[in-house]
């Protein structure tokens, strides 16, 4: 090989020709005594296309056997290149490129192997599947397909207007593609009937091989010149008959043709072919069966119809035009044949899979039946070829708006998710996957939620800790209880890979919302999720947030929830007990401890109960959470839904009890501030505007509520002065959905610098005429700005009860400006809390728990008792200035209203 490369390089450098190929290893399977060509693997340098190189070198020693001059044979190589450039047919080897010099010819074609090498694979079981009886049956069907293909190509060359004599039909001139399709080559002697200067007339006897002995009686008697006046279809059919005998009887000598052929002399040739084979060997040229006649008569008599492989290939070629029942029937045949092992694996990988994937991209394809079969057949593909053969076409299907295709992609995600890299998931899958969160069909939304976890490890921190969680916050308010339940389960499974800051702010509010869900299994899922993620909480969170927020489930109306709640409480208390063992008895100095406090004794008892179906530990809850808790939706799309266009709904909008909800208003922020200023855009719009504070505080904090003072003071200054200082850690009351949740260089002590990350834009393809979609005009289509949404403040100190399911007017989806607003009712799990961050944190002070679940911010007031006189004066002056600034702001606001 190195010698060939050096010769090639030196020759081309001397001629100034740029060589566009890289020469690879020699391809076995071709007898060097029967062909003038050396066949090697090659690669096209400009685009990396794999190909096969046919190389002729006239500088080599004389050709053996026969000591033939290579300069004479060079004329045959030039004729082959000339003919191959101009002839195109599906069953003829496909020409790609060539290089010709005075001594060398390089012909680049599609990837092929000599027929002899493939036939040996059938015997040794190399690249071909099947064993025993299936192996023999598969080989016979494959040879029948090859005979039909070669006959079709030969008839094409023999018939007008080409009227070409092939005259070189040998096993060495037939090649096979990676998909096991047969290709006709050997154009060394190809000559037109009217070509007076053709190479066949003068050099027919020079060509290597025993073609002269295999030619018809007329050639053996009168030489190649007698073919000038004969029809090529009658002379080449004799060579075709001998080729058929060799294919079915590879080790048997050619039959004696001194007498008429008999069934015994035909060997293993199928009985259905014998009558045609006998007529093709007629010594009389005028009464011999032509190549075109053989194709017509064998097809009309049904010879090829009984071959399952030929029927399968024809079905694939005409799949797009077939009826729905015919398509499903063909898919069943492919599945059964593949399971039985009658289909060679190269044929499945390179023929069936590309055909199915091409048809799958069309809107009329039965995607729900095709895609599972494609993924099943894709298991036969090697890991190196899988991304190109299977993964690339499958990923492109995510751009299809067809619901049946999307459902099939999501159901089979586990088959190919681990084979996608992070770039493919983030750039090609995720932007199209998120359209399912807003689809109007519930089963698509549920399948989209389930599909997140297999891809979670391949998502970026920004997507995982911001975009995804904002979408899941909306899905937890879906009208379908199974979707709300599966959203809670998904969050429990995602917890280990979330950022530490995100875990602290999101998990408890999200699971607390599930605990108030009217659906019993959603409440159980919330308890199990808390147990599964117990490692994510420190002792302060367990005692101050987890236990208080789940305690009311101990008296749930459903026994299933109560039993799980007691198990969870027992586990939490046991963990807290273990965590406080090493804590000091007191943090006060010894003198103050003795004077003010006595010894504190803490006792804890844990109660464990065993009941089937309930988790007893964090590991048990995590194990149960690994499977989906509930699926109340049908697993199959109806026929109209399968071929309908996916469209966005307003299911992702935060529902409101206001009759005229505004997409540009954030009811939580406006009501929490207790101001009458213009509405502040919420996170659904991807905007956040805050009014600068004149005080020394840290500014407007997302999710922070200012506690309203009790009515009484008539003077505005007295009202401001009566405001009590906030003393609660704002970090525990994140307004989930409005903060920048990403845990990158986060400063846990500074929440004023948060950005409001918008929900990623969901661009839904426009509906096609053959899809079914529903849309309605938004209630705010007149462009008027709706009134801000007002919150209801819960003052009852009793255990929270789930609010009933409510249907709200749809608003324009903020996820895409191109999507028509549609009605998609959403459930309000807690009318006071529209996002996870608004879930009430229960305090140890019982009087605080009876008030409205508003948040308070950390007061910046310092302790005056620790200051000297000068510092006290400065602090009092600062407080007076701060109060005056508040009074001025409120006066200005009141004046603006009036």
Residues 50-83: tens digit of each pLDDT: 999 999 999 999 988 888 889 999 999 999 999 9
What architecture does CATH give domain 460-581?
Answer: Alpha Horseshoe (1.25)
Cβ count near 604 (within 10 Å):
11
pLDDT for 804 beyond 50: no
pLDDT, position 627: 63
For 438-479, the three-class secondary structure string (H helix, E strand, C coil) is: HECCHHHHHHHHHCHHHHHHHCCHHHHHHHHHHHHHHHCCEC
Which range is most confident: 37-41, 623-627, 633-637, 745-749?
A: 37-41
pLDDT for 133 beyond 70: no
pLDDT band of 871, cuts 50, 70, 90: confident
pLDDT band of 339, cuts 50, 70, 90: confident
Q: What one-character DSSP code corresponds to residue 787?
A: P
Percentage of the chain surpassing pLDDT 70?
A: 68
Q: Which residues are within 8 A (CB) of 757 and not within 5 positions of it... i.e. 6 or more apart?
A: 466, 467, 470, 683, 686, 740, 741, 742
813 or 229: whose pLDDT is higher?
Answer: 229
Q: What one-character DSSP code corresponds to residue 100?
A: E
Q: Which residues are within 8 A (CB) of 271 and not within 5 positions of it... i.e. 6 or more apart?
A: 263
pLDDT, position 511: 95
263, 266, 269, 272 alpha-carbon torsion, rounded to 10°? -30
pLDDT, position 16: 54
Percentage of the chain surpassing pLDDT 90?
A: 46
When mean pLDDT is compared across 252-256, 406-410, 498-502, 625-629, the lowest value belongs to: 625-629
Taking a C-beta distance cutoff of 8 angstroms, is the pair 104, 55 a contact?
Answer: yes
Nearest partner of 165 among 207, 137, 127, judged by Cα: 207
Gap between the Cα atoms of 336 and 347, Å rounded: 15
pLDDT, position 344: 84
pLDDT, position 750: 33
pLDDT band of 111, cuts 50, 70, 90: very high
pLDDT for 35 beyond 80: yes
pLDDT for 673 beyond 70: no
Strand partners, 645: 402
- Helices 559-579 and 520-532: crossing angle in degrees, nearest 10, is 20
The string of pLDDT tens digits covering residues 554-585 is: 999 999 999 999 999 999 999 999 999 989 88
Segment 166-190 shows an average pLDDT of 95
pTM > 0.85: no
Segment 409-435 shows an average pLDDT of 94
pLDDT, position 95: 96
pLDDT for 424 beyond 80: yes
Segment 421-431 shows an average pLDDT of 94
Taking a C-beta distance cutoff of 8 angstroms, is the pair 34, 168 a contact?
Answer: no
Structure token pair of residue 145 = 């397909």
The string of pLDDT tens digits covering residues 701-739 is: 333 343 343 444 444 444 433 443 333 344 333 434 444
Gap between the Cα atoms of 554 and 569, Å rounded: 8
pLDDT, position 591: 59
Give phi and psi for 880, each to the nearest 5: -60, -40
Structure token pair of residue 651 = 């299911």
| Residue 110: CA count within 13 A, CB half-sphere | 18
pLDDT, position 633: 60
pLDDT band of 128, cuts 50, 70, 90: low
pLDDT, position 125: 58
Taking a C-beta distance cutoff of 8 angstroms, is the pair 392, 416 a contact?
Answer: no
pLDDT band of 32, cuts 50, 70, 90: confident
Of the options 2.60.40.10, 3.40.50.150, 1.10.510.10, 1.10.275.10, the CATH number for the domain spanning 1-301: 1.10.510.10
Q: Which residues are within 8 A (CB) of 454 and not within 5 positions of it... i.e. 6 or more apart?
A: 413, 414, 417, 418
Taking a C-beta distance cutoff of 8 angstroms, is the pair 482, 633 a contact?
Answer: yes
Instruction: Give Cα 264 distance to the centre of its chain.
Output: 57
pLDDT for 782 beyond 70: no
888 or 779: whose pLDDT is higher?
Answer: 888
pLDDT, position 614: 77
When mean pLDDT is compared across 28-37, 139-148, 217-226, 744-753, the lowest value belongs to: 744-753
pLDDT, position 593: 53
- Helices 442-450 and 403-411: crossing angle in degrees, nearest 10, is 30
514 or 603: whose pLDDT is higher?
Answer: 514
pLDDT for 597 beyond 60: no
pLDDT band of 805, cuts 50, 70, 90: very low
Segment 364-369 shows an average pLDDT of 85
pLDDT, position 351: 92
E strand or H helix at 109, and its extent? Answer: strand 104-109
| Residue 134: CA count within 13 A, CB half-sphere | 14
When mean pLDDT is compared across 39-48, 105-114, 836-845, the lowest value belongs to: 836-845
pLDDT, position 685: 38
E strand or H helix at 117, and its extent? Answer: helix 115-124
pLDDT band of 893, cuts 50, 70, 90: confident
Q: Which residues are within 8 A (CB) of 564 and not within 5 positions of it... i.e. 6 or more apart?
A: 524, 527, 528, 553, 614, 615
pLDDT band of 783, cuts 50, 70, 90: very low
Gap between the Cα atoms of 607 and 613, Å rounded: 18
Taking a C-beta distance cutoff of 8 angstroms, is the pair 417, 454 a contact?
Answer: yes
pLDDT, position 869: 81
414, 416, 420, 426 alpha-carbon torsion, rounded to 10°? -50
The string of pLDDT tens digits covering residues 237-284 is: 999 999 999 999 988 888 877 778 888 889 999 999 999 999 999 999
pLDDT, position 365: 84
646 or 292: whose pLDDT is higher?
Answer: 292
Nearest partner of 303 among 295, 313, 314, 292, judged by Cα: 295
Segment 446-457 shows an average pLDDT of 95
Structure token pair of residue 222 = 């009168």
Q: How far is CA 842 from CA 9, 436, 839, in A?
A: 82, 36, 9
* Domains in the chain: boundaries: 1-301, 460-581
Question: For the chain, what is the mean pLDDT?
Answer: 76
pLDDT for 640 beyond 50: yes
Gap between the Cα atoms of 450 and 357, Å rounded: 24
Gap between the Cα atoms of 453 and 443, Å rounded: 17
When mean pLDDT is compared across 286-290, 546-550, 651-655, the lowest value belongs to: 651-655
């Amino acid at each position: 090989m190195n010698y060939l490369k050096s010769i090639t390089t030196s020759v081309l450098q001397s001629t100034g020709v740029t060589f566009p190929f890289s020469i690879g290893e020699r391809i076995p399977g071709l007898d060097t005594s029967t062909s003038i060509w050396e066949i090697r693997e090659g690669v096209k340098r400009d685009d990396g296309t794999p190909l096969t190189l046919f190389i002729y070198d006239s500088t080599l020693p004389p050709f053996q056997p026969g000591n033939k001059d290579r300069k004479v044979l060079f004329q045959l190589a030039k004729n082959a290149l000339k003919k191959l450039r101009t002839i195109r047919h599906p069953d003829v080897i496909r020409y790609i490129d060539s290089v010709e010099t005075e001594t060398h010819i390089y012909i680049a074609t599609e990837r092929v192997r000599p027929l002899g090498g493939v036939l040996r694979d059938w015997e040794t079981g190399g690249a071909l599947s099947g064993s025993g009886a299936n192996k023999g049956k598969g080989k016979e069907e494959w040879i029948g397909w090859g005979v039909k293909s070669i006959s079709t190509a030969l008839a094409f060359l023999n018939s007008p207007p080409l009227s070409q004599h092939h005259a070189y039909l040998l096993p060495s001139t037939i090649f096979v593609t990676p998909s096991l399709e047969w290709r006709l080559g050997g154009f060394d002697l190809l000559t037109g009937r009217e070509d007076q200067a053709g190479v066949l007339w003068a050099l027919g006897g020079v060509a290597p091989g025993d073609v002269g002995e295999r030619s018809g009686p007329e050639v053996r008697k009168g030489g190649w010149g007698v073919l000038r006046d004969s029809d090529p279809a009658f002379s080449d059919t004799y060579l075709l008959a001998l080729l058929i005998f060799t294919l079915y009887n590879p080790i048997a000598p050619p039959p004696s043709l001194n007498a008429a052929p008999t069934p015994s002399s035909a060997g293993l040739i199928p009985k259905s072919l014998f009558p045609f084979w006998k007529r093709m060997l007629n010594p009389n040229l005028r009464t011999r069966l032509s190549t075109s006649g053989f194709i017509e008569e064998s097809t009309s008599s049904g010879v090829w119809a009984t071959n399952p492989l030929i029927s399968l290939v024809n079905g694939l070629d005409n799949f797009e035009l077939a009826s729905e029942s015919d398509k499903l029937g063909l898919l069943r045949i492919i599945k059964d044949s593949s399971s039985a092992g009658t289909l060679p694996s190269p044929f499945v990988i390179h023929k069936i899979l590309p055909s199915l994937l091409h048809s799958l991209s069309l809107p009329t394809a039965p995607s729900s039946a095709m895609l599972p079969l494609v993924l099943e057949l894709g298991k036969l593909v090697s890991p190196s070829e899988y991304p190109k053969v299977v993964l690339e076409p499958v990923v492109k299907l995510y751009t299809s708006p067809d619901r049946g295709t999307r459902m099939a992609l999501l159901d089979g995600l586990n088959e190919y998710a681990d084979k996608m890299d992070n770039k493919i998931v983030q750039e090609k899958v995720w932007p199209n996957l998120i359209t399912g969160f807003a689809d109007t069909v519930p089963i698509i939304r549920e399948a989209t939620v389930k599909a997140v976890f297999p891809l979670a490890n391949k998502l970026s921190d920004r997507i995982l800790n911001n975009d995804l969680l904002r979408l899941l916050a909306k899905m937890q308010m879906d009208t379908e209880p199974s979707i709300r339940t599966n959203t809670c389960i998904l969050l429990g499974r995602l917890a280990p890979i979330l950022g530490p800051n995100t875990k602290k702010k999101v998990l408890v509010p999200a699971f607390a919302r599930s605990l108030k869900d009217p659906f019993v299994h959603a409440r159980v899922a919330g308890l199990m999720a808390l147990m599964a993620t117990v490692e994510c909480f420190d002792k302060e969170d367990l005692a101050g947030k987890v236990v208080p927020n789940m305690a009311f489930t101990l008296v749930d109306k459903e026994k299933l929830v109560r039993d799980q709640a007691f198990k969870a409480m027992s586990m939490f208390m046991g963990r807290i007990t273990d965590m406080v063992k090493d804590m000091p008895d007191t943090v006060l100095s010894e003198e103050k401890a003795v004077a003010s406090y006595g010894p504190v004794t803490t006792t804890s008892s844990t109660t464990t109960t065993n009941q089937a179906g309930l988790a007893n530990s964090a590991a048990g809850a995590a194990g149960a959470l690994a499977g989906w808790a509930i699926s109340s939706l049908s697993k199959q799309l109806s026929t109209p839904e399968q071929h309908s266009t996916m469209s966005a709904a307003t299911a992702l909008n935060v529902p409101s009890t206001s009759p005229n909800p505004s997409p540009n208003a954030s009811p939580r922020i406006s009501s929490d501030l207790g101001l009458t200023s213009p509405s502040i855009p919420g996170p659904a719009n991807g905007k956040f505007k805050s009014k600068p504070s004149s005080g020394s505080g840290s500014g407007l904090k997302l999710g922070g509520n200012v506690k309203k003072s009790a009515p009484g003071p008539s003077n505005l200054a007295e009202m401001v002065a009566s405001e009590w200082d906030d003393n609660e850690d704002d970090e525990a009351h994140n307004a989930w959905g409005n903060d920048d949740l990403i845990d990158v260089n986060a400063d846990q002590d500074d929440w004023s610098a948060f950005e409001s990350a918008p929900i990623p834009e969901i661009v839904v393809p426009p509906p096609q005429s053959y899809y079914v979609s529903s849309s309605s005009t938004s209630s705010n289509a007149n462009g008027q700005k709706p009134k801000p949404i007002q919150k209801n403040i819960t003052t009852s100190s009793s255990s929270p009860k789930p609010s009933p399911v409510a249907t709200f007017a749809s608003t324009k989806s903020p996820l895409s400006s191109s999507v028509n607003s549609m009605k998609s009712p959403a459930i309000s799990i807690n009318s006071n809390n529209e996002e996870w961050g608004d879930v009430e944190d229960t305090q140890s002070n019982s009087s605080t728990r009876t008030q409205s679940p508003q948040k308070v911010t950390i007061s910046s007031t310092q302790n005056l008792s620790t200051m000297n006189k000068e510092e006290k004066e400065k602090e009092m002056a600062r407080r007076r200035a701060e109060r005056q600034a508040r009074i001025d702001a409120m006066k200005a606001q009141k004046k603006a209203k009036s």
